[in-house]
Amino acid sequence: MPLHDWSRLPEWEGVHQLWIGELYRSLKAKLPAGYRAGLATVPSLTIGRPASHPDINVRWHPGLPDLAAEPSLDDLTGFDTEVTILAIDPSTMVQVFRGAALVAVLELISPRNKDREQAQSATVDRFVGYLSLGIHVLFVDVHAAPATFSLADAIAAKLDYEQPPCPAPHAMAYQVRGPVDGGGQSVAVRRAPLAVGQALPALPLPLGRSLRVDIDLEATYSTAARDYLSWPSFETDEG
């Protein structure tokens, strides 16, 4: 099924959930022995590195003093100021593990991942964080807006390498090749420009330096779109 113009259709969130599920099932069936896939919900806005379990975990247990006896939340004694921070929206991605080690991630970009400057910076930082930790990445961005921002170009700028301009929509695969002399990681990049009205390509999801799994974006997208949308009515609306 050709890629649709998601700036004119309001159903992206529903298709996103179905598509990521199709990608998960397709990938899971292709993984070699010793690898496993899972769906994870992570913050779409993170700073510096991927989200993980907190270092300190606080729980409440029955039998402890009633919470009502604790000081009011309005009591700011001992604090200097109170601020409101940016809201964090959940985002679902596919993760691939070898044993307990996270080796690769696959993500569908949503408009909220890049609709504001803070969201753009946080999304770039998240992917750069994965790559700096040696985790392979594949992401798909089917949203052309905003026209002034390209996630692929922003990642290239953050990693300080040159590439031809790659505006959205596009899909990108990054294979971490390993450490290089002088520090840092060597990363191989696969660019796949996308276009409304054209079929989506297959792209490799690297699992190691010499191991990868082909991801059929077209087949998984088609299944998700057909399941969620009534295409005849939308095709009529679009002319």
Identify whether 70 is part of a domain.
no
Is 56 exposed, middle or buried (CB count within 10 Å of its CB: 0-12, 13-18, 19+)? exposed
Identify whether 90 is part of a domain.
yes
Identify whether 60 is part of a domain.
no
Q: How many folded domains does the chain comprise?
A: 1
Q: Where does the pLDDT of residue 230 fall: very low under 50, low under 70, confident under 90, or very high at 90 and above?
A: low
Identify whether 65 is part of a domain.
no
Residue 62 above 70 pLDDT? no
| pTM over the 0.85 mark | no
Q: Can you read off the two tokens belonging to residue 98?
A: 């070898």
pLDDT digits (tens, 9 = 90+) for 99-115: 999 999 999 999 999 99
Contact 93, 105 (CB under 8 A): yes
Identify whether 188 is part of a domain.
yes
Contact 38, 97 (CB under 8 A): yes
Instruction: Print the domain residue range for 38.
Output: 12-51+80-237
